[in-house]
Structure 1
């Protein structure tokens, strides 16, 4: 049963906003990527979306941010996070515009 459940399990991702002069960042939302769609929620609540992919969800977060200080919005796959790597580059694979 575990194997069947794992095969169809969605992938967890985060939407991370990069802002400011010092390249600060914050998690804006978390989502689940299924084979045919992605679902995402903002961490502050009040914003939920469905998209055809995690990348499209990232783009929609970027469009809807409304914050001029946000420079880029990244998609970070959380199943690729390297825990205990000791450096910021180990935070997972990210993409953005």
Structure 2
């Protein structure tokens, strides 16, 4: 059972990141991790928890990943505000 309804903004959450620089594996990892978290959250998955991930074989390490929500006052997202007279992509095809 879901702990919250799926957001109507789900498509925007699932498609937020540009392609990572293939020469930087850490940046690529961070981008793929962000994509996975936001996509799962948009689909209603409980992501705020501790996840235990076993390695695929005895020689590979296992991982413990803790996911916590960032308090709103600490978020780095800065939305771009539309200037008066500009239409958003959603409003582009609508008639007043």
The answer to whether the superposition gives a TM-score over 0.5 is no
TM-score normalised by structure 2 residue count: 0.28
Higher relative contact order (CA 8 A, sep 6+): 1
Q: Which TM-score applies when normalising by structure 1?
A: 0.27
The structure with more strand, counted as a fraction of residues:
1
